[in-house]
């Protein structure tokens, strides 16, 4: 599984970071960074929650 973010949509509001801090990080420059593009399958439920919670629908998971 790969985490993909549409950075044109992303507002770096850190909702995803609150749900999955091992994968997403918003830094002091107010940009979102993907810390692990290919997280383990065991993280899928958490990442699906982050995808659903994104206010701009900027995150998707690709198998």
**What's the predicted TM-score (pTM) here?**
0.95
Range of the domain at 36: 2-62
Q: How far is CA 62 from CA 11, 25, 47, 48, 52, in A?
A: 21, 20, 11, 11, 14
Predicted pLDDT of residue 19: 98
Q: Could you give the CA distance from residue 33 to residue 42 in angstroms, rounded to a whole number?
A: 21
Residues 6+ apart with CB under 8 A from 14: 24, 26, 32
Question: What is the per-residue pLDDT across 3-54, written as a single tens digit (0 to 9) for each?
Answer: 999 999 999 999 999 999 999 999 999 999 999 999 999 999 999 999 999 9
Q: Domain count of the chain?
A: 1
The CATH number assigned to the domain holding 24 equals 3.30.70.20
């Amino acid at each position: 599984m790969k985490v993909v973010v549409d950075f044109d949509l992303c507002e770096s509001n850190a909702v995803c970071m609150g749900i999955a801090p091992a994968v997403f990080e918003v830094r002091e420059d107010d940009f979102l960074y993907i810390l692990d593009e290919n997280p383990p399958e065991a993280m899928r439920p958490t990442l699906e929650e982050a995808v659903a919670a994104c206010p701009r629908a900027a995150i998707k998971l690709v198998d």
